[in-house]
Amino acid sequence: MEDRPDQVRSPLRIADGSAPGTPSLLRALNARTLLDRLRRDGPTTRAQLARETGLSKPTVSMALANLERAGLVRAVGRESPPRGRAGLLYELDASAAFVMGIDIGRAWIRVAVADLSGRVVARRDERNRARSAQAVVRTVADLAHEVPSSGGLSRSQVVHTVVGSPGIFDPGSGRLRLAPNLPGWSRRGLVDALREELGLSLVIENDANLAALGERSYGRGADADTFVYVSVGTGVGMGIVIEGELYRGAHGVAGEIGFLPLPGANPSDPHARVRGLLEEAASADAVVRKARRLDMRGPLSAKRVFAAAREGDEQALAAVEQEGERLALVVATIAAILDPELVVLGGGVGHNTDLLREPLENTLRALTPLELPIVDSALGQDAIVLGAVATALDSAHELVFEQRVGGGAASG
C-alpha cells in the first residue's frame, strides 16, 4: 500500500507519546518537513512548499499556522512573481532559540552565540590564563553568562551548548582522556562541573573533530564529501569527515595522529608516551626545540620562529623545513589509509602554509606516488568554535521543535 502524500515518513519521536499514524503524529511530521525545507531553502511560499513536499495546500496552510503559533516560523512579506498573484513568504524564525559554541584551548577560550540560522550574535575571545582545571571551568562559566548578555540575550534563551576540548570524552568513566596539554583536564568530576555551570543540554567534542565540522559547514570542506582536517598547534590532531559525516572510530579515537609512530623517535621518552611520538616531534613546542638546536637565540615561540623565517632567518627557515618534512609523513599516511579528497591544514602551526607547503610537498613526492591536495583552513583560529556552533544547531533544531510542536503546541 502506497503512502498518502500527506503522510511524510520521518524517524521523529513525538514527545506526547502519540502512536504512529495518529493525527497528532501526522501533524508533527508534516510540520517538521516544512520546517526543514524553510531552514534549507529560506523564504518560501505555501504553494512552493506544497509542490516541493507533495503535501496538499490545506495541509501546508494548517502546518504553517501551527508553526507560526509555536514561534518557529514567521511571514516575511510577499514574493514578486513576473505575473499572477503574489504569495506570502514564510521563513524560519531564527530568533526562536540560540546555541552556544565554546572552544577551550591552552592559549585561548573562544565563545560564540548564534541564532537558529547560524548567524553569530555575540562573540568573545579571551586568553586562557587559568592555572588549573577548576579555574578553566570558572572562566568558561563566566563567559557563558557574559557573552549572551552582551548580545542582549538571557542565558535561558541558549537551548544547547557544544564545547570543543582537547582529548576524548569517555562516557563510561565520565572523564576526558588524552588531554595532556591542559593540566588536570582528565580528572574525575570535571565534565560534571562543566554541566553544572553550562546546563545539561551540553555536548563535549574533540576540538579537531569540531574544526573538521566547521570546515564542512563554512569552509574548505563545503564541497567535499570526504576530507580530513589536520590541526598542528599546541597539540596535533585530526578530524575525519567521510561521506559528509564525522568519523570517530570504534572507540572515539580516530584521528589521534599525535600517537602515530615516527622513525627515529624514542618510544621510551616519557613525554612522548604521554603526548604521542608525532605530537612530541611536530607540535608548536617541537618547532621551538628544533630552532634552539639550530642555534636560534632569544625568547622563542613557534610564532616567532615562523615570523623570523618570513624575514629570511636561516635557522628559522631550517626549523620550518624540518616541520614540513614531519607533516609530510602524516599526509602520506593519510593518503594511503583514507584517500580523502583533500587535507585541510589548520592550527597555530598548520596555518603557516606559505612556509610549510614547499618542504611538505617536496618530501611528500619523495615518499609516495599518491597525490593529495593540501589546502589551508578557510576559518583559521575560528574553525573549532564555528564547528561547535554548527554541531549545536543540529541538536537545537530537534530540541526546539520537540518542545514547541512535538509537546502539543501544534495539536490544535
pLDDT for position 27: 86
Buried b / exposed e along 318-354 (16+ C-beta atoms within 10 A): bbbbbbbbbbbbbbbbbbeebebbbbbbbbbbbbbbe
pLDDT for position 272: 66
Give ranges for CATH 3.30.420.40 in the chain. Answer: 96-211+384-400, 221-377
- Separation CA 194–CA 137 (nearest Å): 6
- Say if residue 52's pLDDT is above 50: yes
The count of other CB atoms within 10 Å of the CB of residue 363 is: 19
> Using alpha carbons only, what angle is made at residue 357 by residues 355 and 358, rounded to the nearest 5 degrees?
90
Backbone angles phi, psi at 86, to 5 degrees: -75, 130
Q: Choose from 29-43, 255-269, 270-284, 331-345 the range with maximum mean pLDDT.
A: 331-345
pLDDT for position 10: 42
Identity of the amino acid at 277: L
- The SS3 of residue 55 is coil
- Separation CA 218–CA 13 (nearest Å): 30
- The SS3 of residue 18 is coil
Task: Provide the CATH topology of domain 96-211+384-400.
Answer: Nucleotidyltransferase; domain 5 (3.30.420)
Quickly tell me which residue has 596555518 as its cell. Answer: 351
- Say if residue 410's pLDDT is above 70: no
- Separation CA 113–CA 109 (nearest Å): 14
pLDDT for position 87: 81
Full-model pTM: 0.87
pLDDT digits (tens, 9 = 90+) for 96-138: 999 999 999 999 999 999 999 999 999 999 999 998 999 999 9
Average pLDDT over residues 327-353: 96
Cα-Cα-Cα-Cα torsion 21, 23, 29, 31, nearest 10 degrees, comes to 170
Domain 23-92 is of which CATH architecture?
Orthogonal Bundle (1.10)
Cell numbers for 331, please give them.
599526509
Cell numbers for 194, please give them.
562543566
- The SS3 of residue 115 is strand
Burial class (CB in 10 A: 0-12, 13-18, 19+), 367: middle
- Separation CA 320–CA 265 (nearest Å): 19
Backbone angles phi, psi at 104, to 5 degrees: -105, 110
- Separation CA 149–CA 128 (nearest Å): 21
β-strand partners of 127: 108
Helix, strand, coil share (%) of the chain residues, nearest 5: 45, 20, 35
> What are the start-end ranges of the E strands in 22-157?
44-45, 73-78, 88-92, 98-104, 108-115, 120-127
- Separation CA 155–CA 339 (nearest Å): 43
Q: What is the DSSP string of 379-411?
A: SGGGHHHHHHHHHHHHHHHHHHHIIIIITTTT-
Backbone angles phi, psi at 82, to 5 degrees: -65, -25
The count of other CB atoms within 10 Å of the CB of residue 20 is: 9
Quote the percentage of the chain above a pLDDT of 90. 77
Give the CATH number of domain 221-377; options: 3.40.50.300, 2.60.40.1180, 3.30.420.40, 3.20.20.10: 3.30.420.40
- Say if residue 150's pLDDT is above 90: yes
Give ranges for CATH 1.10.10.10 in the chain. Answer: 23-92
DSSP 56: -
pLDDT digits (tens, 9 = 90+) for 7-23: 344 444 444 444 555 77
- Separation CA 180–CA 375 (nearest Å): 28
Average pLDDT over residues 138-151: 96
pLDDT for position 122: 97
pLDDT digits (tens, 9 = 90+) for 172-183: 888 999 888 888
When the pLDDT of each residue in the chain is averaged and rounded to a whole number, the result is 89
Cell numbers for 82, please give them.
513576473
Edge-to-edge order in the sheet of strand 108-115: 120-127, 108-115, 98-104, 158-165, 202-206
- The SS3 of residue 212 is helix
pLDDT digits (tens, 9 = 90+) for 81-93: 655 566 899 999 9
DSSP 406: I
Report CA-CA distances (Å) from 346 to 123, 219, 245, 354, 376: 21, 12, 19, 12, 6
Cell numbers for 161, please give them.
551548548
Burial class (CB in 10 A: 0-12, 13-18, 19+), 87: middle
For 10, half-sphere exposure in the C-beta direction (CA atoms, 13 angstrom radius) is 19
